[in-house]
Amino acid sequence: MLSKNRIKLIRSLKSKKGRDKTNCFIVEGLKSIKELLDSNYHIETLYIRNNIDESDVVDFKDQNLFFIDPHEMKEISNLANPTEALALVSKPETTKLPNSEKLMIALDSVQDPGNLGTIIRTCDWFGINQIFLGNGSVDFYNPKVIQATMGSFTRVKPFKVDLDSFIHEKKQEGVKIIAAHLSGASLLQFQFKSVNSHLLLFGNEGNGLSDHLRDLSDFLIKIPGSEQAESLNIAASMSILTWEAFRSTFNR
Amino acid sequence: MLSKNRIKLIRSLKSKKGRDKTNCFIVEGLKSIKELLDSNYHIETLYIRNNIDESDVVDFKDQNLFFIDPHEMKEISNLANPTEALALVSKPETTKLPNSEKLMIALDSVQDPGNLGTIIRTCDWFGINQIFLGNGSVDFYNPKVIQATMGSFTRVKPFKVDLDSFIHEKKQEGVKIIAAHLSGASLLQFQFKSVNSHLLLFGNEGNGLSDHLRDLSDFLIKIPGSEQAESLNIAASMSILTWEAFRSTFNR
């Protein structure tokens, strides 16, 4: 049985404060938790509902595993409909910034956890294994972000950066900074070149990119449309721009 | 002051049952509500928080308008952080199916309201003014769907259809049925042709498209990637495929 203190600790991981204090975060669902086994993440404790089939947990026999009652799972889960498993996972040590890749994604002040989760999933799909997050962005380890990545968080490494100095540094390396911006030129006129490294930059859901970061960018790009809607969802526009970069530099 | 019965009625609109009974749904936020004024939707009642600036509501002076206390707004709102305005809006009468357009979107059993809302927003962005929903899909008028469309629901008309007979009918008209499917051919090899009408078809988030609908499709298409992630978010793949159709038939 889970102690009151343990329940309190697990619940505290819903907040960034709790996660920063313990250096842990929560992953729910056997499928996502299984992906942890093939990653560099360390499972601190794994809670499994005691009414599930033993064959489903054979992969986890070497883990620090506890079976709990369904009503206990309900107490610690962040989901309206809790799954069969919940893991406390250690946050990895922060490492130094990686070398530039051909295609990089940076987000400034993205607020919605579902949007960040979807963006991480799209990164993973296109083989982009890093994401650069400006200071105002929602926490990568927010449970709703983790949930929305569908396991992709295990393959896409987050780097918290000061975007101003990060972009300056990348520009000095010759990386092209491409910002999604409603005042930008049409994506139909833009050509990603496979000789270049590109950094795709996206701003806040409501306010877009800050003027300062806009001015630092090499190209402002707008996805053309019918002009009847005010804007696209940020995860939708990130997916389109990333696909466009992938498509136009594929095998070249 | 809001009566208990009125509060009960408004709260009942969170569920599909309540919406079907009253033929009403909820829209929150002045920005989305303003878009209703330019649409065919009829605002039945509009509730505005009594602590906002009168100049903000001047557009609504001809509406059936009530000012309410912030704590009353909290009681009727579906949002964790209620906005300044909430409208009860009549659902439009169902009309007969429209003629085929150059690009149409159909969804089978899409479950997540945020996904459907984002898809509707992408439709609107690209000037697609209809969406065809199979029987298992989340309700278009679910408050979370409406919220995620950011006003685009006023320009994209939903049609509930039996996808089987709908697709048969479209095929007879010569419409090409393009289904997103993980076993499909690479999108890099596919060419949308401007002489054709296309129907893009998407399945359930977890289970994909049913075998039956897959077999009815003319082309199965997969967005190529790095093969490390299992799948893309459905709203992300819908956005990429819709962009691709837009891009490759633009001005041709």
CATH number at residue B74: 3.30.1330.30
A98 assigned to some structural domain: no
Can you tell me the distance from the alpha carbon of B102 to that of A245, in angstroms, rounded to the nearest whole number? 26
pLDDT score at B54: 81
Instruction: Assess whether A67 and A139 both reside in one domain.
Output: no
User: Of B39, B59, B90, which residue is a domain's last?
Assistant: B90
Determine whether the interchain pair B250/A125 forms a contact, defined as Cβ–Cβ distance below 8 Å.
no
Instruction: Assess whether B37 and B139 both reside in one domain.
Output: no
Q: Is residue A153 within 8 Å of residue A130, measured between CB atoms?
A: no
Per-residue pLDDT of chain A (252 residues; tens, 9 = 90+): 899 999 999 999 999 999 999 999 999 999 999 999 999 999 999 999 998 888 888 899 889 999 999 999 999 999 999 999 999 999 988 789 999 999 999 999 999 999 999 999 999 999 999 999 999 999 999 999 999 999 999 999 999 999 999 999 999 999 999 999 999 999 999 999 888 899 999 999 999 999 999 999 999 999 999 988 989 999 999 999 999 999 988 755
- From chain A, the residues in CB contact with B246 under 8 A are 224-225
B108 assigned to some structural domain: yes
Instruction: Assess whether A123 and A238 both reside in one domain.
Output: yes
- Closest-CA residue of A relative to B113 is A114
- Closest-CA residue of A relative to B114 is A114
Can you tell me the distance from the alpha carbon of A60 to that of B170, in angstroms, rounded to the nearest whole number? 49
| Mutate: best of A232, A234, A241, A252, partner B, most B CBs <10 A | A232
Q: What's the one-letter identity of residue B61?
A: K
- Closest-CA residue of A relative to B251 is A188
Q: What's the domain count of chain B?
A: 2
A156 assigned to some structural domain: yes
Can you tell me the distance from the alpha carbon of B202 to that of B220, in angstroms, rounded to the nearest whole number? 10
User: Does A118 lie at the interface with B, CB-CB under 8 angstroms?
Assistant: yes
Helix (H, G, I), strand (E, B) or coil at A76: helix
User: Of A38, A55, A90, which residue is a domain's last?
Assistant: A90
Instruction: Assess whether B81 and B126 both reside in one domain.
Output: no
Residues paired with residue B200 on neighbouring β-strands, in sequence order: B105, B178
User: Does B237 lie at the interface with A, CB-CB under 8 angstroms?
Assistant: yes
Give the residue ranges of chain B where pLDDT is below 50.
none
Nearest to A239 among B187, B230, B240 (CB): B240
Q: How far is A170 from chain B (nearest CA, A)?
A: 24
pLDDT score at B109: 93
A207 assigned to some structural domain: yes
User: Does B151 lie at the interface with A, CB-CB under 8 angstroms?
Assistant: yes
Strand ranges of the sheet holding B130-133, from the earlier edge strand across to the other edge: B157-160, B130-133, B103-107, B198-202, B176-186, B219-222
* A242, HSE (Cβ side, Cα atoms, 13 Å): 32
Instruction: Assess whether B60 and B150 both reside in one domain.
Output: no
Determine whether the interchain pair A243/B223 forms a contact, defined as Cβ–Cβ distance below 8 Å.
yes
Nearest to B229 among A152, A247, A250 (CB): A152
User: Of B61, B90, B119, which residue is a domain's last?
Assistant: B90
Q: Is residue B165 within 8 Å of residue B199, measured between CB atoms?
A: no
Place of tokens 């129907």: B199
B33 assigned to some structural domain: yes
Size of the A and B interface in Cβ pairs below 8 Å? 110
Q: What is the CB neighbour count within 10 angstroms for residue B174? A: 10
CATH number at residue B205: 3.40.1280.10
B97 assigned to some structural domain: no
Instruction: Assess whether A120 and A240 both reside in one domain.
Output: yes
Q: Is A17 exposed, middle or buried (0-12, 13-18, 19+ CB in 10 A)?
A: exposed
Instruction: Assess whether A58 and A146 both reside in one domain.
Output: no
Strands B198-202 and B130-133: unpaired
B161 assigned to some structural domain: yes
**Domain extent at residue A82:** 4-90
B98 assigned to some structural domain: no
pLDDT score at A251: 58
Nearest to A235 among B126, B235, B244 (CB): B235
Can you tell me the distance from the alpha carbon of B167 to that of B157, in angstroms, rounded to the nearest whole number? 18
Q: What's the one-letter identity of residue B16?
A: K
Residues sharing a CB contact under 8 Å with residue A20, sequence separation 6 or more, in sequence order: none
Determine whether the interchain pair B155/A228 forms a contact, defined as Cβ–Cβ distance below 8 Å.
yes
